[in-house]
Amino acid sequence: MTIHICTLISLSFLPHQHLEIQLDPKTHTLVGTTTISDCDEVSVNAEGLEVLPTTNGKIRWRAVFNDDVASGERVGQIHNFSVDAHISENGVFLSDWAGWYPTPVDSEGNPIQRTISMSVEPVDEWTFVGSGNPEGQKWVTPRPVDGMALVGNKHVVTKRTVQTPKGDVVISVHLDSSHADKSMFYLDAADDYLQLYTPLLGEYPYEQFAIVENFFSSGFAYPGFTVLGPRVVGMAPKSLAPGYLDHELLHNWWGNGVYVDSSNGNWCEALTSYSANYGRRGLEDGEDAARTYRRGLLNKVSLDPTLDNGALSKFGSADPSDGPVDRFVGYDKGAFVFMMLEEVLNAGTDIKDASQSKIWPVLARFAKDNMGKAASWEAIQLSAEQQYPERPSGWLDPFFKQWVYEHNVPVTSPELKAVPPQVLETESGKSWISIDPDYKYYRLFPKRQISPTIAGTLSGTTVKVDTTEEVLQDTGAWLADVEDGKNLLLIGDAPIQEHAGLLAQCEDLISFHKNGFTVGGETYEGDDLAVLHTMNHPTNDGEFITVFYSVGDAGWERLRFIWYYTKDTSVIWNANETLLRRVFEPSGRLIHGSAP
């Protein structure tokens, strides 16, 4: 349904929309009133909404939202993308893309950029959070947006005002009462992230950062707040590793501060992944941690080269003819492209601390120049070139052509050459050469250089299970969904003993003995120990063997979590405590005259 309203105000102003919302969680119902001002004439899309009689230029509507939450829940996944709009006694989730209120649109049916304010009628014991900044009983977007989100539940709310180098920010944490003891973890973490990133990127784009526990698997970022699923919230502080809460906070710069012009692809997931998942490791833990992360991404795509299925400029493109491009490209490869851009910008300078990297003033400039605007890859290139104003315009054209606009997936070989201005480092001996030993150049590994991880095993595996363990009826339920293949997944003592001869031939082998095991040259003993360990097949290149073993009953509970360790060669637990996460790195040397 399209509604036309007219208020005869100068078109030199962007519209402003105000929403007044009433919610009834028991009946899944929303009743709302909206006004749209500061515009001449506007079409309002109310598709799927029951429009009620209106007066004085207001639009009233009613709708029932009850998306099927359970159908989108997946083992090992922290996102449930099947839910757009849901109101129930379990919680409220109304995403900004869901069309849950009448939306002003242009002649082509696209949402019009406008500021939005929203008030929500109180519901006993409930708290709500909307896009933008809180102002009394309202939420107001400080910049024009194309949508509004609203979430809420019966939450315990904890707040803190923090002083950052670029101004005060209110952090609020909204958690279920069962997780209220986790509040301080999230307050402290958000405080730390703001202190870390505001000196590098500039003023935080909102007055508040709200962390809201959702009632289903989430991890979604909205202007000024994020929603996290209950499983992730309950895992704190383990779930505060790089790439979780920091990633969502940084979306307030990338995507919810500087908007995405998707005419040549969505850059914001790449930049957010670079800034948080990778950048925080380098800033806090140093170059060794950054190198490990770079190698992990190259290992991931080398395990499954089909992940890289298109140009970065095609990821999230507004042109449907570009076809679907895998999330690996938009997130992981995109982050690696920013890592390589950082190396280009830092060339010839002595960077002793990651915070001094030339990439950060580039990103701060990009944020300042484009805040509240839709920006593209061209704007990122412009900000990067301005770091060296003495160089000619377009000096980064070859780099962006190679890694953003074209689809290139180089394979490691002695003949591999970098496209200037990049430089490919090598080391060599009398009979060997090592290409890019610090993993700063995007490429595929030869099979023999791939680190064995359970991600490789689960790409297609034959599962052997010690069915005498009754606990498998619960923790091993996901095994039914594992795709058949040649890799081996050995779970429990009997399958491991059955394949003992094969395991003994493996490089980086694991051995078992009374009350423990030895792996990576270290021996572990204890009744509550469990281990997940992956090896390259001793004779079949490109095949993997993973073992899961528990000394006693307690360790079997870890089996349900092995999906979360796809980048690790070895993981060792003592009951609920993770003792070790380790990656085995095969030699990177190529022998002259041998096949890569």
The DSSP code sequence of 171-191 is: EEEEE-GGGGGGHHHHHHHHH
The pTM (predicted TM-score) of the whole model is 0.91
Give the chain's count of helices (H) and strands (E): 15, 33
Mean pLDDT of 160-166: 96
Question: Is it the case that residue 468 has pLDDT exceeding 90?
Answer: no
Domains in the chain, ordered, with CATH? 1-149 (2.60.40), 155-255 (3.30.2010.30), 259-445 (1.10.390.10), 454-582 (3.30.379)
**Token pair listed for 73:** 């829940």
For residue 342, the surrounding DSSP H or E stretch is: helix 334-346
Nearest alpha carbon to residue 39 among 3, 15, 75: 15
Return d(Cα 344, Cα 180) in angstroms, integer. Answer: 45
Q: What does the pLDDT read at residue 392?
A: 96
- Per DSSP, helices labelled H in 357-414 are 359-370, 377-385, 397-400
For residue 346, the surrounding DSSP H or E stretch is: helix 334-346
**pLDDT (tens digit per residue) in 311-357:** 999 999 877 777 799 999 999 999 999 999 999 999 988 888 999 99
Question: Is it the case that residue 150 has pLDDT exceeding 80?
Answer: yes
Q: Within a 10 A sphere around the Cβ of 157, how many other Cβ atoms?
A: 14
For residue 241, the surrounding DSSP H or E stretch is: none
Mean pLDDT of the chain: 91
Nearest alpha carbon to residue 563 among 77, 172, 220: 77
Q: What does the pLDDT read at residue 41?
A: 65
Per-residue pLDDT band for 477 (boundaries 50, 70, 90) equals low
Pairing of strands 29-37, 59-64: antiparallel
Beta bridge partners of 519: 510, 522
**pLDDT (tens digit per residue) in 180-209:** 999 999 999 999 999 999 999 999 999 999
Mean pLDDT of 87-91: 97
For residue 272, the surrounding DSSP H or E stretch is: helix 268-273
Question: Is it the case that residue 57 has pLDDT exceeding 80?
Answer: no
Q: Within a 10 A sphere around the Cβ of 429, how many other Cβ atoms?
A: 10
Mean pLDDT of 276-288: 96
**pLDDT (tens digit per residue) in 94-103:** 999 899 999 9
In the chain, pLDDT over 70 holds for what percent of residues?
94
How far out from the chain centre does Cα 546 lie?
Answer: 26
Question: Is it the case that residue 467 has pLDDT exceeding 60?
Answer: yes
Question: Can you say whether the dihedral through the CA atoms of 111, 85, 217, 162 is positive or negative?
Answer: positive
Return d(Cα 305, Cα 303) in angstroms, integer. Answer: 6
Mean pLDDT of 373-386: 97
Question: Is it the case that residue 471 has pLDDT exceeding 70?
Answer: no
* β-sheet with 59-64: strand ranges across: 50-52, 59-64, 29-37, 16-24, 115-120, 138-140, 133-135
Question: Is it the case that residue 7 has pLDDT exceeding 80?
Answer: no
